[in-house]
Amino acid sequence: MSEDKDLISIGQARSLVRRARAAQSELELLSQDQIDAVVSAMAAAAARESRRLARAACDETGIGIAEDKHVKNEIAFHHVYEYIKGMRTVGVISRDSERRVAEIAAPVGVIAGVIPVTNPTSTTIFKVLISIKARNAIVLSPHPAALDCIVDTARVMEEAGRAAGLPADSILCMQTITAEGTEELMRLASLVVATGGQGLVRAAYSSGTPAFGVGPGNVPAYVHSSADLARAADDILTSKCFDNGTVCASEQAVVVDRAVAAELRGEFERSGAHFLTAEQTAAVARALVSPELTVNPKLVGKAAHEIARAAGFQVPEGKKCLIAKLDTVGPDEPLSIEKLSPVLAYYEVEDWREGCERCRQILAFGGMGHSLAIHARDEEVINAFALAKPASRILVNTPATHGAIGYSTGLAPSLTLGCGAAGSNITSDNISPMHLLDIKRLAYGTRPVGRPDSPPDALEGKPEPAPAPLEESATAVPRERIEQMVDEFLDGKKTKQLKPSPNVYSIPEQGETQDQPPRPAPPPPEAPTPAAAEFVSEWEVRQALKRGETILIDEKTIITPLARELAERESVFMLKGSITGTQDKAE
């Protein structure tokens, strides 16, 4: 039975990617205004359905807090949307007039979006928005324990997008989920954006497809003696208890200077934390962490009093976080790992130097490259932590969860956080639509390289004049001309050499000035006999269909199977006579 399910899942992955690729050929033709209208409609639909989807996620998974899941959704449909709505992702997206370089955005293709059980609806909203904004179709692979709420969220987004002009099959979702099916999806996609456990992220990087993965977040929070202790305690608990600790950027350990440790403990207790006894610490470790140092999935995202009950003791329901005082980091201290629940490790150190080392140990034990929080008013200490720690985000005087995802800081709002090379990730960025684009660069020559007849020292000692900005130079290519050239290149319309407009990068001859009218252009040469195509792919056939043209082929033309199938169905090929030179429709 399991083998049958694997085969069904693999077949489903192949079918969905095939459909998504067909949608991709239409999606990538949409203009910036069309894409922006689609993304706006999807964000609005997610906003309308957010509370219902948040409740559905809690009911299905048994993880977290419904109101906090609504806030997570809001981060995606509001904060992420506000950040990306004005972002250019179609055609020429930037120009550097001084360097004479234009950047051109192209979609990467079908995205495989792997969705976790801890943040199912918010991650779905986020990945759909950034994928479609970059003109990429997306196929989602839900966590099996959150299948229904993820499918429902994808449906809400897809229906709103379709009503605004999104091509059919641009947003698809697997519904028979196995590891083998997900691996096949990742293998067939153009790019993988994976959020989940370490095993899944490793599978993404091993799929042979370019991938953005997310490393674990064993985030330490250092509290220096110069910190505002009341604010630090409140920030840490606000972050740690948000959705019962299921965000990978939430604090996993507090490291505090011994001089202020007692005062900070008092602030924690006033804010609703319960400090565990040594016996309770051991009991929680046994209940929460397996001998293999993995978190008990039955306790992920559960409230503090539920975890205490599972460990065999009681705490009042008003207590929102369990804090365990520890002395070391590593396998002998199970609670020093990432816990995905409102449980904190607590360490006391002599000063910031010892605190620096303790934070490094915590990051090395399962959180390399992710994030670190520091609470201090001493800028030298803050800078020391920023320079020395293997973390991609150093979050100062703010809740780590909200700071890392760009809610309470100026970082890019995102629900996928790269951990850089330290965390075996390809980027340390907060992932955005710009990571889902291929950026091409149109670059004009700006300095001479030298000519064979030039003296060897012709350029020595002569500073190269800076080129005038493209927008201001009398001889610059006008913006409209650049866009026309780019469109012709991308659409495959550049069938003959472009003739420059008068005075476009022209060099006046001796006795001639730029104000003089240009010499009459010589008569154009006779058009050469069209040559048969050497290679034809499905893309060339679709472009020919779009323009209502035919493609000239002969017996030497290499044609891909998909191109041949599509062209024969639509009568696109024209066969060039090998002897007489006549042309006939290819059968």
pLDDT digits (tens, 9 = 90+) for 290-335: 999 999 999 999 999 999 999 999 998 889 999 999 999 999 999 9
Positions annotated as catalytic residues are 248
SS (H, E, C) 440-479: EEEECCCCCCCCCCCCCCCCCCCCCCCCCCCCCCCCCCCH
C-alpha closest to that of 160 among 44, 77, 277: 44
CB atoms within 10 A of CB 130: 31
Give the span between the Cα atoms of 382 and 362, in whole angstroms.
18
Helix (H) or strand (E) holding 547: helix 538-547
Strand, coil or helix: 159: helix
Can you point out the beta strands (E) in 132-245?
138-141, 171-173, 191-194, 211-213, 219-223
pLDDT digits (tens, 9 = 90+) for 246-277: 999 999 999 999 999 999 999 999 999 999 99
Cα 4–Cα 8–Cα 11 angle in degrees, nearest 5: 140
The Cα-based distances of 565 to 532, 546, 575, 584, 586 in angstroms read 19, 17, 16, 18, 12
Question: Where exactly does CATH 3.40.605.10 map onto the chain?
Answer: 2-214
The Cα-based distances of 508 to 88, 185, 322, 511, 533 in angstroms read 37, 58, 79, 8, 39
Tell me the whole-structure pTM to 2 decimals.
0.76
Class of domain 219-410: alpha beta
CB atoms within 10 A of CB 529: 7
The Cα-based distances of 33 to 26, 28, 36 in angstroms read 15, 13, 5
Give the span between the Cα atoms of 330 and 343, in whole angstroms.
17
Residues of the chain with pLDDT under 70: 1-2, 451-529, 561-562, 577-587
Helices of type H across 271-315? 278-288, 304-311
- Can you read off the two tokens belonging to residue 75? 């981060």
Residue owning tokens 């995905």: 340
- Are 321 and 304 within 8 A, CB to CB? yes
The pLDDT of residue 487: 63
- Considering the four listed CATH numbers 3.30.590.10, 3.40.50.1000, 3.40.605.10, 3.40.470.10, the one that applies to the domain covering 2-214 is 3.40.605.10
- Are 391 and 369 within 8 A, CB to CB? yes
List of residues 6+ apart from 565 with CB closer than 8 A: none
At position 214, the amino acid (one-letter code) is V
Chain-centroid distance, C-alpha 489: 28
The Cα-based distances of 359 to 268, 365, 379, 504 in angstroms read 20, 10, 18, 59
- Are 330 and 365 within 8 A, CB to CB? yes
Question: Where exactly does CATH 3.40.309.10 map onto the chain?
Answer: 219-410
- Can you read off the two tokens belonging to residue 254? 């507090």
Give the span between the Cα atoms of 448 and 178, in whole angstroms.
58
Give the HSE-up count for residue 557: Cα atoms under 13 Å, Cβ half-sphere: 23
